[in-house]
């Protein structure tokens, strides 16, 4: 594709203001060429830095774990948060791996059981609604699944043309094309054409198409009803699937049998089943799940207390303390500067300086 064609498809992509983003993607391409153990070390380092500087997200992750795993001790949660941020650091480069690695290298680090492979292949004559969740290696999940049965990716278009181009090209290396998450007709059409569609509904999307059902230890988790709606399309099967990182530098692609009698016609029941499926998956590798999202922000009633009220208060309190400390330091610097100026002025009026000035005048 020529530069003129790239410019027309992604307007402004060569603008100087996007140069840092283009450089970042060049760096990402270079890093993912390294051996996987080296990539993990760099990812762990980045994740540690993120944990040190993203204090707000650390508190949100800890609160989510407290809500979902009330039996865990404070130390266990701290350890899980630490591991989770390392996993987030790795996820940065796993995205690059999914977008830039060759099919051969993906297969080298991919694992799939005969049963999971069978669950994909025996449903190729149907539209596949792949019910998944936000594991941090979600990009690799779609890439590996697409190696076996290419599908259509549902995504949120990015306003930055460089990011838009990279994610579109990367996600269509083994899959067919992308469709906006707002293009409902396009999603339905893709399913009717017997394509897999990945759907991760495990976030608080602030939509009216939701119900409040249990998720782990949280009794009233806002859960979208889209799986029920899309599952009603003719010749569509709903297949739970996810991918997790194993301890031998491999990625295990798990594809469970299609759900029988789904949807049931009861959206609350369907949403409860969906939450149970993804909760069972998360329990297998909780450190690899995206805990930094405020999953339980919306409550059934406006008067219900926010699950994150204490977190928000503490964040605001810390910000207020930081601002106060900053203002104090700023005032102290100002006072020191003023004092230094006064000292310089007094030094300029000292007797020795006056005598020196008189000597200069006489000469």
Which three-class secondary structure string do you get for 214-243?
EECCEEEEEEECHHHHHHCCCCEEEEEEEE
Residues 181, 36: Cα–Cα separation, whole Å? 32
Instruction: Find out whether 139 and 95 touch, Cβ atoms under 8 Å.
Output: yes
Q: Do 286 and 342 have their domain in common?
A: no
C-alpha distances in Å from residue 210, one per residue of 207, 262, 299, 325: 6, 17, 11, 44
Residue 334 structural domain: 312-352
308-325 residue pLDDT tens: 988 877 666 666 676 777
The answer to which of 213-227, 278-292, 297-311 has the lowest mean pLDDT is 297-311
Q: Do 233 and 152 have their domain in common?
A: yes
183-215 residue pLDDT tens: 999 999 999 999 999 999 899 987 788 999 999
Task: Classify the C-alpha dihedral 221-256-260-262 as positive or negative.
Answer: positive
Q: Do 53 and 128 have their domain in common?
A: yes
Q: Do 214 and 329 have their domain in common?
A: no
Residue 346, pLDDT > 80, answer: no
- The pLDDT score that the predictor gives to residue 329 is 81
Q: Do 276 and 316 have their domain in common?
A: no
Contacts of 129 (CB under 8 A, 6+ apart): 191, 197, 199, 227, 230, 231, 236, 237, 238, 239
* 357, part of any domain: no
- The pLDDT score that the predictor gives to residue 363 is 47
* 363, part of any domain: no
Please compute the mean of the pLDDT values over residues 131-150 and round it to a whole number: 96
* 160, part of any domain: yes
Reported as a pLDDT band with limits 50, 70 and 90, residue 302 is confident
> Which range scores top for mean pLDDT: 270-279, 301-310, 334-343?
270-279
Q: Do 142 and 267 have their domain in common?
A: yes
* 360, part of any domain: no
- Give strand pairing partners of 199: 131
Q: Do 263 and 178 have their domain in common?
A: yes
Sheet architecture: strand order including 152-155: 110-112, 251-255, 236-245, 127-132, 196-200, 152-155, 177-180
Q: Do 328 and 300 have their domain in common?
A: no
Helices and strands of the chain, counted as H and E runs: 14, 9
157-189 residue pLDDT tens: 999 999 999 999 999 999 999 999 889 999 999
Of 155, 168, 152, 153, the C-alpha closest to 9 is 168
Report if pTM > 0.85.
no
262-292 residue pLDDT tens: 999 999 999 999 999 999 999 999 999 999 9
Residues 144, 136: Cα–Cα separation, whole Å? 14
* CB burial readout 238-266, b (16+ within 10 A) else e: bbbbbbbbeeeeebbbbbbebbeebbeee
What's the structural domain count of the chain? 2
Residues 292, 175: Cα–Cα separation, whole Å? 28
* 361, part of any domain: no
Residues 97, 91: Cα–Cα separation, whole Å? 9
DSSP conformation class of 306? P
Q: Do 196 and 286 have their domain in common?
A: yes
Of 241, 258, 256, the C-alpha closest to 142 is 241
* 8, part of any domain: yes
> Which residue is listed with tokens 């680090």?
109
H/E segment holding residue 26: helix 19-31
Q: Do 188 and 319 have their domain in common?
A: no
* 302, part of any domain: yes
Q: Do 216 and 317 have their domain in common?
A: no
- Give strand pairing partners of 226: none
- The pLDDT score that the predictor gives to residue 348 is 60
Angle at 59 between CA 54 and CA 64, to 5 degrees: 125
DSSP conformation class of 16? G
* 16, part of any domain: yes
- The pLDDT score that the predictor gives to residue 362 is 46
Q: How many CB atoms lie within 10 A of CB 30?
A: 11
CA 308 to chain centroid, in Å, comes to 19
For 117, the token pair is 């492979």
Q: Do 324 and 179 have their domain in common?
A: no
Greater confidence, 11 or 62?
Answer: 62
The long-range contacts involving 185-189, CB below 8 angstroms and separated by at least 24 positions, are 187/152, 187/154, 187/230, 188/230, 188/233
Residues 220, 213: Cα–Cα separation, whole Å? 5
């Amino acid at each position: 594709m020529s530069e003129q064609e790239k410019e027309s498809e992604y307007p402004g992509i060569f603008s100087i203001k996007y140069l840092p983003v283009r450089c970042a993607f060049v760096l990402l391409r270079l890093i993912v060429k390294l051996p996987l153990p080296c990539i993990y070390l760099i990812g762990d380092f980045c994740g540690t830095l993120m944990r040190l500087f993203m204090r707000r997200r650390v508190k949100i992750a800890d609160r989510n774990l407290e809500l979902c795993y009330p039996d865990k001790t404070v130390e266990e949660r701290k350890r899980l948060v630490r591991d989770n941020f390392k996993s987030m650091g790795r996820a940065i480069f796993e995205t690059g791996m999914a977008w830039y690695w060759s099919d051969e290298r993906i297969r080298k680090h991919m694992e799939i059981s005969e049963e999971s492979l069978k669950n994909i292949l025996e449903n190729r004559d149907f539209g596949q609604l792949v019910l998944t969740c936000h594991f941090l290696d979600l990009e690799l999940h779609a890439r590996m699944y697409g190696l076996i049965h290419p599908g259509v990716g549902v995504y949120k278009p990015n306003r930055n043309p460089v990011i838009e181009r990279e994610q579109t090209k990367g996600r269509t290396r083994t899959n067919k094309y992308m469709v906006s998450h707002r293009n409902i007709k396009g999603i339905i059409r893709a399913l009717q054409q017997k394509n897999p569609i990945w759907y991760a509904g495990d976030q608080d999307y602030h939509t009216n198409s939701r119900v409040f059902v249990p998720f782990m230890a949280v009794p009233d988790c806002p859960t979208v009803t889209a799986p029920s709606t899309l599952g009603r399309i003719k010749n569509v099967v709903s297949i739970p699937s996810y991918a997790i990182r194993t301890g031998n530098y491999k990625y295990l692609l798990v594809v469970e049998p299609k759900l029988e009698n789904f949807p049931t016609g009861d959206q609350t029941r369907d949403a409860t089943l969906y939450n149970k499926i993804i909760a069972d998956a998360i329990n297998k590798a909780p450190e690899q799940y995206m805990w930094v999202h405020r999953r339980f922000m919306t409550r059934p009633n406006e008067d219900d207390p926010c699950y994150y009220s204490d977190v928000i208060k503490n964040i605001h309190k810390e910000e207020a303390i930081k601002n106060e400390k900053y203002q104090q330091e700023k005032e102290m610097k100002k006072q020191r500067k003023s004092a230094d100026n006064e000292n310089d002025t007094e030094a300029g009026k000292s007797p020795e300086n006056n005598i020196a000035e008189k000597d200069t005048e006489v000469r």
